């Protein structure tokens, strides 16, 4: 049953560390190499990226090379900026992407970032059968654990999950949270198979996906800074009485372009000037929430 009320007028006080008004969660989606492509033996080519032509019958090197920019050039640019800014992030990772570029996960771990699950392939789970989905979840956990040196505790599905996803995550037993939700500015618990399960909502609006040609709502780095800063300012004002959480979604092949990367400095510096902000991984937020409530 859908919950259309949530916390209502009385959201809980999360008591963020340092008395922060807003907990800010940067999420880098690592999908490169996990997209669908004929060259990988799939039956179709992914068509959601910078160029929206649909190529059938042959491998789409235009699409593939857009994704490859994320690992070949963008990761280093993004990781170095975040390290200079001192901001930890959650690297939401497709298992197949990590398998093909394990060095990226190793570098992320070395820099102190969280590694979370983003499915085995960059695909929708909505119509997956239960057995197949269970296998994909287990495979993703296994590969990320082997590369990162510790098991991931977070999950986020591309698009909508299946009717079984959350139950399968709970039954797997090692997840602290999932982010398959967009309905609130705070984490919340839900009951799954008689167990309490934590949901840390994600966001599609404060997200660099809007640089995509299909959306084209953001053009310059300044556009992203302005919109994201406006969102932060609203939450910051509310946070004087009712502290909130903010998610900022990033993608290697999007924010990592030279004309967009300055947005990270602009966003973080704006937040630091305002003060009373906690930059945290989603694991840190989950552990804090579980210890508080």
Q: What is the DSSP letter of 137?
A: H
In a domain, 84, yes or no: yes
Residue 111 pLDDT = 98
Q: Give the contacts of 173 (CB within 8 A, at least 6 positions apart).
A: none
Task: Please tell me the pTM assigned to this model.
Answer: 0.96
CATH of the domain at 266: 3.20.20.370
Residue 63 pLDDT = 86
Q: Give the contacts of 78 (CB within 8 A, at least 6 positions apart).
A: 28, 250, 252, 255, 256, 261, 264
In a domain, 2, yes or no: no
123 is written with which tokens?
């695909």
User: Comparing C-alpha atoms, which of 15, 99, 78, 37 is closest to residue 264?
Assistant: 78
Residue 50 pLDDT = 64
In a domain, 140, yes or no: yes
Total domain count for the chain? 1
186-235 pLDDT, tens digit each: 999 999 999 999 999 999 999 999 998 666 789 999 999 999 999 999 99
In a domain, 139, yes or no: yes
138-166 pLDDT, tens digit each: 999 999 999 999 999 999 999 999 999 99
* Host H or E run for residue 117: strand 114-117
Q: What is the DSSP letter of 35?
A: S
246-277 pLDDT, tens digit each: 999 999 999 999 999 999 999 999 999 999 99
Q: Which range marks the domain in which residue 159 is found?
A: 17-292
Burial of 166 (0-12, 13-18, 19+ CB in 10 A): buried
pLDDT at 121 over 70: yes
CA 215 to chain centre: 19
In a domain, 53, yes or no: yes
């Amino acid at each position: 049953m859908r919950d259309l009320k949530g916390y209502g007028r009385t959201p809980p006080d999360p008591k963020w560390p340092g008395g922060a008004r807003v907990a800010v969660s940067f999420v880098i989606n690592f999908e490169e190499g996990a997209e669908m492509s004929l060259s990988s033996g799939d039956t179709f080519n992914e068509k959601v990226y910078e160029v929206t032509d649909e190529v059938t019958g042959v491998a789409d090197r235009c699409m593939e090379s857009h994704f490859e920019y994320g690992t070949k050039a963008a990761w280093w640019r993004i990781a170095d900026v975040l390290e200079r800014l001192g901001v930890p992030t959650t690297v939401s990772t497709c298992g197949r992407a990590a398998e093909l570029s394990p060095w990226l996960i190793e570098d992320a771990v070395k820099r102190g970032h969280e590694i979370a699950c983003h499915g085995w392939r960059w695909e929708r789970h909505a119509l997956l059968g239960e057995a197949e989905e269970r296998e994909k979840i287990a495979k993703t956990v296994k590969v990320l654990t082997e590369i990162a040196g510790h098991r991931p505790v977070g999950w986020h599905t591309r698009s909508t999950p299946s009717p079984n996803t959350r139950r399968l995550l709970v039954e797997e037993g090692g997840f602290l949270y999932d982010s398959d939700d967009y309905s609130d500015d705070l984490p919340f618990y839900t009951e799954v198979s008689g167990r309490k399960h934590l949901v840390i909502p994600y966001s599609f609006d404060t997200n660099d996906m809007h640089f995509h040609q299909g959306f084209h709502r953001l053009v310059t780095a300044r556009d992203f800074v302005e919109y994201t800063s406006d969102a932060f300012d609203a939450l910051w004002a509310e946070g004087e009485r009712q502290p909130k959480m903010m998610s900022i979604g990033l993608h290697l092949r999007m924010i990592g372009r030279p004309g967009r990367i300055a947005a990270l400095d602009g966003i973080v510096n704006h937040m630091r000037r305002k003060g009373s902000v906690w930059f945290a991984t989603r694991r840190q937020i989950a552990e804090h929430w579980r210890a508080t409530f």
